[in-house]
Amino acid sequence: MKKNITLISFIMMFWFVISFITNILGPIIPDIIKNFSLSHLAMAGFIPTSFFLAYAIMSVPAGMLIDKIGDKKVLFIGFLMPFIGTLLFACVPCYEMLLASCFIIGLGMAMLQTVLNPLQRVAGGEENYAFIAEFAQFMFGIASFISPLVYIYLVKELTPGTYKKGNNLLIDMLARVTPPELPWVSLYWVFVALLLVMLVAVLFMRIPKVELSEDEKAGSKSSYLELFEKKTVWLFFLGIFCYVSTEQATANFMTTFLEKYHHIDPQLEGARTVSYFWGLMTVGCVVGMILLKLYDCRKVLLGSGVLSAVFLLLALFGSTTIAVVAFPAIGFCISVMYSIVFSLALNSVSKNHGSFAGILCSGIVGGAGGPLIVSAIADAVGLRAGMLFIMVFILYITGIGIWAKPLIDNKTVRLRELFQRSE
């Protein structure tokens, strides 16, 4: 692991940048609606839909592309695509270009994740894979926490009437290329700069050849057909769909909800609430790791589902003070859902795990479907009713904790043993 510490550092940096860019949509959606005069919330819902639709489309072809041209070239193209997408929108900030930008960024991010997941195993060694994966998730969460805070800072500094030339060189540079009436677009110039650094980093880094184990390989057409015939496969696919729908619909519309029903400034307190949502999700991952050592994962899933439902109701029907606390608390509660549903799914079949993992990853298209469903209901009967539909996703995930019957249960220890091992 020591000789690959540089490669591991690069990978963690890549995950940070990926998260920093992809999880900013929530805070900026109120700006998008206002500045681009969107008459329907569904038009805003198309923005995350375009990103996740591209993600679903590119995931399988990206794996094929790796086999054909190699990891390094796919990694470079993976950063080149979002570089092009962010640059296009930064230069031509309009709704239509934002949709195209999100689609192009989604294509690149799918390629990046397809490369980085197996690369982590090679970089740290199989015996350290779990730790490296968890650390990558930690970096992902930290970046999601920071990006809304950067957005708050840039909007505050570049808003007409607040901006003062000569106080900050970086702000002055951004002011020259950002429309005064669209200060949030400056964030996309920051993305352009970060992605340019990533492209240069990929050019100079050395990437070892990644050899997939039999269990990680996608498998043949017959393996997919065999899996498609199993009801359990579709039920777990829907579980992943519902989780990503829950995560993205909550993160993307909470600022709009807080502005509409509680008159909270989306550029300040609203964006800060989104930041706390991702920050608490990171904390929840750490707490979840401890709970999964002590309890059956199905019980943990049930508990997280019930708490998520309670906090969703408090966020939607509580006072302003309660809402700004309850929304981030949802992030804390749902943090364990994805990993538990994924592990329960793989542990529920005896073979074709690589193919099944690919099917489950396709469930990430929930990031497109969930926000679109919520926005469509919101346009018809109101945003509160639209976000209440998230309860359907949560209840389905919670139900998995009841009906799942894995072939292998997660290993647990007594509380005393846990502390003894940590010592």
Token reading at 183 = 């200060």
3 state DSSP class of 265: coil
CA 399 to CA 337: how far, in whole Å? 12
| pLDDT of res. 126 | 55
| pLDDT of res. 215 | 54
Token reading at 235 = 């039920």
Which residues are within 8 A (CB) of 137 and not within 5 positions of it... i.e. 6 or more apart? 282, 285
3 state DSSP class of 418: helix
For residue 351, give the DSSP letter: S
Q: pLDDT tens for the chain, 423 residues: list them.
A: 444 788 888 888 998 999 899 888 878 888 898 899 888 888 888 888 888 888 778 877 877 787 788 888 989 999 999 999 999 999 999 999 999 999 999 999 888 887 887 777 677 765 555 556 667 777 888 898 899 899 999 998 998 888 888 888 999 999 999 999 999 999 999 999 999 999 999 998 887 766 655 555 555 566 777 777 888 889 999 999 999 999 999 998 999 999 999 999 988 898 899 999 998 988 988 888 788 778 888 898 999 999 999 999 999 999 999 999 999 999 999 988 888 887 788 778 777 666 677 777 778 888 888 998 999 999 999 999 999 999 999 999 999 999 888 876 656 666 666 556 544
- The alpha carbon dihedral of 304, 305, 310, 313 has a sign of positive
| Domain map (residue ranges) of the chain | 1-212, 217-406+415-423
What is the three-state SS of 177-189?
Answer: HCCCCCHHHHHHH
For residue 348, give the DSSP letter: T
| pLDDT of res. 118 | 72
Fold match flag (1-212 vs 217-406+415-423): yes
| pLDDT of res. 225 | 76
| pLDDT of res. 412 | 61
* Residue type (1 letter), 264: I
CA 53 to CA 257: how far, in whole Å? 24
As a dihedral over the C-alpha atoms of residue 204, residue 205, residue 208, residue 209, rounded to 10 degrees, the angle is -60
Q: Cβ(304)–Cβ(333) under 8 Å?
A: yes
Cα–Cα distances (Å) from 218 to 111, 266, 417, in that order, read 15, 43, 38
Strands (E), 162-302: none
Q: Cβ(26)–Cβ(255) under 8 Å?
A: yes
CA 236 to CA 222: how far, in whole Å? 20
First to last CA, the chain: 23
3 state DSSP class of 318: coil
For residue 210, give the DSSP letter: P
| pLDDT of res. 287 | 86
3 state DSSP class of 35: helix
- 217-406+415-423 placed in CATH 1.20.1250.20: yes
As a dihedral over the C-alpha atoms of residue 358, residue 237, residue 368, residue 62, rounded to 10 degrees, the angle is 0
- 1-212 placed in CATH 1.20.1250.20: yes
Cα–Cα distances (Å) from 388 to 226, 247, 407, in that order, read 36, 13, 34
